[in-house]
Structure 1
Amino acid sequence: MRTLAKKSFGVLCSLFLLLSGSVNAGELVINSDASDPAPKKAWAEVIAKFEEANPDITVKYNLYDHEAYKTTIRNWLVTSPPDVVFWYAGNRMKTFVDRGLFEDVSDIWSANNMAEDFSSAMPAMTANGKQYGVPYTYYQWGMYYRKDLFEKYDIAVPKTWDEFVAASKTLKDNGVTPFTIGTKYLWTAAGWFDYMNMRVNGLDFHIDLMDGKVPYTDPRVKAVFTKWDELVKPGYFLDNHASYSWQEAQPFLYNGEAAMYLMGNFLAANFTDEVRPKMGFFQFPVIDPSVPNAEDAPMDTIHIPAKAKNKEDARKFLAFVAQPEIQTMINESLLQIPTNNKAKPKDDEYLNAGVLMLSEAAGTAQFYDRDTDPSMAKEGMKGFQQYMVHPDRIDKILKKLEKTRQRTFKE
Structure 2
Amino acid sequence: MPRKSTGLLIAALLALTAGLAACGSSGGGSGSSSSSKVLKVWWYEGPGSAYQIAWDQAIKDFKEQHPGVTVQFSLKSFNQMQQNASMILNSSDVPDVMEYNKGDATTGLLSKQGLLTDLTPEASKYRWDKLLGPDLQVTARYDAKGVMGSGNWYGVSDYAEYLTVYYNKGMFAKYGIAVPTTMAQLTAAMDTFLKHGITPFANAGNDYMAMQYLYMMELSQATPQQVQDYERYTGKVDFHNTAWTNAVKTFQDWVSKGYIAKNSVGLTATQAGNNFETGKSPMLMSGSWWAGTFETEIKSFQWGTFLWPGNTLNAGSGGNLFVVPKNAASKDLAYDFINDTLQPDVQKLLANNGAVPIAARTGGVSNPLNVELIKNFQTLATNNGLAYYPDWPTPNFYNTLLAQTQDLMNGASGDSVLSTLQTNYDQYVSSLG
* Pairwise TM-score range, normalised by the shorter structure: 0.7 to 0.9
Rounded to whole Å, the distance in 1 between the matches of 2:387 and 2:366 is 25
Q: Cα 1:186–1:343, aligned 2, differ >3 Å: closer, same or farther?
A: same
Distance change >3 Å, CA 180–CA 105, structure 1 → 2: same
> Residue 301 of structure 2 corresponds to which residue in structure 1?
276
TM normalised by structure 1 equals: 0.82
The answer on 1:258 being equivalent to 2:281 is yes
Are the aligned partners of 2:255 and 2:262 in contact in 1 as well (CA < 8 Å)?
Answer: no
Partner of 1:3: none
Match status 1:94 vs 2:108: yes
2:152 corresponds to 1:152:
no
Matched, 1:107 2:107: no
C-alpha deviation, 1:242, in angstroms: 1.4
Q: In structure 2, what is the equivalent of residue 379 of structure 1?
A: 400
1:283·1:357 contact (CA, 8 Å) conserved in 2?
Answer: yes
2:60 to 48, 53, 61: 48
Q: Cα offset for 1:273?
A: 5.4
Change over 3 Å in CA distance of 1:320–1:27 after alignment to 2: same
Q: Does 1:125 align with 2:140?
A: yes
Quote the offset at 1:230 in angstroms. Answer: 4.3
Determine if the alignment matches structure 1 residue 351 to structure 2 residue 370: yes
What residue number does 2:70 align with? 58
1:70-125 deviations in Å (ceiling 9; x for gaps): 33432232232332122122232212122222222122222333333222522221
Which residue in 2 is equivalent to 1:7? Answer: none
CA contact 1:172–1:236 (8 Å) conserved in 2 = yes
Cα contact 1:324–1:343 (8 A) shared by 2: no
Matched position secondary structure for 1:61: strand
Cα pair 1:324 1:342 within 8 Å, conserved: no
CA pair 211-122 structure 1, distance change in 2 beyond 3 A: closer
Which of 217, 226, 229 aligns to 1:205? It is 226
The structure that is helix-richer by fraction is: 1
Amino acid in structure 2 at the alignment position of 1:105: L
Deviation track 1:303-351 (CA, whole Å, cap 9, x = no partner) reads 112232332222222222222323323554x531211346867432332
- Cα deviation per residue 1:329-388 (whole Å; 9 max; x = unaligned)? 3554x531211346867432332122111112123244333x222312211221012213
Alpha-carbon displacement from aligned partner over 1:384-409 (angstroms, at most 9, x marks no partner):
1221331x511111112222223333
- Structure 2 residue corresponding to 1:360, chosen from 379, 382, 386: 379
Q: TM-score, normalised by structure 2?
A: 0.78
Is the Cα–Cα contact under 8 Å of residues 34 and 68 in structure 2 kept in the other structure? no
**Following TM superposition, by how much is the alpha carbon of 1:135 offset from its aligned partner in structure 2, in angstroms?**
0.7
Aligned partner of 1:280: which letter? Answer: G
Residue 281 of structure 1 aligns to a residue whose secondary structure is strand
**Alpha carbons of structure 1 residues 64 and 153: separation in structure 2 relative to 1, 3 Å:** closer
Match for residue 12 of structure 1? none
1-structure distance, mates of 2:98, 2:364: 24
Q: Name the CA distance, whole Å, in 2 between partners of 1:330 and 1:258.
A: 28
Aligned partner of 1:161 in structure 2 is 183
Q: Name the Cα RMSD after superposition.
A: 3.0
The answer as to whether partners of 1:327 and 1:340 remain within 8 angstroms in 2 is yes
Q: Report deviation, 1:282.
A: 1.2
Cα distance in 1 for partners of 2:298, 2:425 equals: 46
User: Which residue of the partner structure matches residue 4 of structure 2?
Assistant: none
8 A Cα contact 1:133 1:301, kept in partner = yes
Contact 1:331/1:337, CA 8 A, preserved across alignment: yes
For the 8 Å contact 1:195–1:296, the answer to whether it is kept is: no
Is 1:102–1:303's contact at 8 Å kept on the other side of the alignment?
yes
Rate the CA distance shift 1:37–1:154 in 2: closer, same or farther, 3 A. Answer: closer
Q: CA deviation at 1:181?
A: 1.3
State how far apart, in whole Å, the 1-side matches of 2:318 and 2:254 are.
25
Letter in 2 for 1:84: V
Give the number of equivalent residue pairs: 382
Which residue pairs with 2:160 in the alignment?
138
- Corresponding residue number in structure 1 for 2:342: 322
CA contact (8 A) 1:181 1:188 kept: yes
For 1:241, the equivalent position in structure 2 comes to: 264
| Rounded Cα–Cα distance in structure 2 between residues aligned with 1:31 and 1:151 | 44
Shift of 1:136: 2.0
Aligned with 2:158: secondary structure?
strand
1:143–1:281 contact (8 Å) kept in structure 2 = yes
What SS does the aligned partner of 2:240 have?
coil
- Counterpart of 2:141, as a letter, is T
Identity of aligned residues (%): 20
- Asked whether the 8 Å contact 1:32–1:85 carries over to 2, the reply is yes
Q: Is the 8 A contact 2:361 2:374 kept in 1?
A: no
The residue number in structure 1 matching 2:43 is: 32
Contact 1:186/1:382 (<8 A) preserved? no
**SS across alignment from 1:82:** coil
Q: Stretches of 4+ moved more than 6 A in 1?
A: 22-25
User: 1:323, 1:340 within 8 Å by CA — same for their partners in 2?
Assistant: no
1:216-269 CA distance string (max 9 Å, x none): 334442132234344333222124111322332345445554322112234342
Could you tell me how far 1:54 is from its partner in structure 2? Answer: 1.6
Q: Which amino acid aligns with 1:78?
A: N
Gaps of at least 5 residues in structure 1 are: 1-19
Cα distance in 1 between the residues matched to 2:279 and 2:346: 39
Q: Partner of 1:189 in structure 2?
A: 210
Mark the CA change 1:36 to 1:74 in structure 2 (over 3 Å): closer, same or farther.
farther
What is the SS of the residue equivalent to 1:124? Answer: coil
Alignment-derived partner of residue 176 in structure 1: 198
Q: Which amino acid aligns with 1:126?
A: R
Task: Give the structure with higher Rg (CA).
Answer: 1
